[in-house]
Amino acid sequence: MKCYFQGCTSIGVTKEHIPPKAFFPDNEKEQLLTVKSCTEHNNAKSKDDLYVLAQVCMNASPSNRAREIFLEKVKPQLDFNNAALRKLLAKDAVKLQDGSVKYDVDIKRFDDFFTALSCGIIFKSCGATLPNNFEVNHIYPNFSSQQDNYLELEIEKFYQGKPMTFMEFGNPNTKNERIYTVEIFGIPEFKSSLTIVHLFFGKFKVISMLTNKM
């Protein structure tokens, strides 16, 4: 079987977890979804997994599940490898007047992560890779405010709830709604642009816009 990633023609010789294993407790492995992946696309994203997970957990707080996953999966890695993850998260952080800390976000890492996740979700839903004529972009409502980006917030409001029947592209059958849920809006068989709404811990939302450029 071919690799799940858009435009890749290599054979899938390994499994890619969507979302990654790091997002789930060790005793809930049966709830993991996988797709076939080539070695390149399996390894390329792994460097971003913990960084994205840490940021998602911090922005999903005080969700109990987000705190649990942060303590189990992220905290033990903060001081590993000369505290590389801690330094990465703290880079360009700003201490606010109320004593809290505002952490900078590496959007490039987020974009790479969610492009791979979106490709995996599409493949899991319909058994086909995202066609090359689709352009992928992501919106991060948790990083925006009404003053920052009104359009992004309006898009978030539009894509709420379940898609109408004719816009039900497919269902990857996620199994742990307290950690991750996903809805795909779009006409099946890639007959329209697609929108994927990812939701982590019931609080952290990402909207992936897969635009048909044809």
Distance CA 208, CA 115 (A): 8
In which element (H, E) is residue 200 found? strand 194-200
For 61, the domain range is 14-212
**For residue 70, which of 152, 80, 62, 164 has the smallest C-alpha distance?**
62
Asked whether residue 1 is domain-assigned, the answer is no
pLDDT in tens, 44-59: 667 789 999 999 999 8
Does some domain include residue 64?
Answer: yes
Backbone angles phi, psi at 2, to 5 degrees: -70, 155
Residue 31 lies in a domain: yes
- Split into its structural domains, the chain has a count of 1
pTM value is: 0.89
- In whole angstroms, give the CA distance from residue 152 to residue 209: 11
Calpha distance 129→2 (Å, rounded): 9
pLDDT at 92 over 90: no
Give domain status of residue 37, yes or no.
Answer: yes
For residue 2, tell me if it sits in a domain: no
pLDDT tens-digit series, residues 96-126: 777 777 788 999 999 999 999 999 999 999 9
- What value, to the nearest 5°, has the Cα angle with vertex 180 and ends 178 and 185? 125
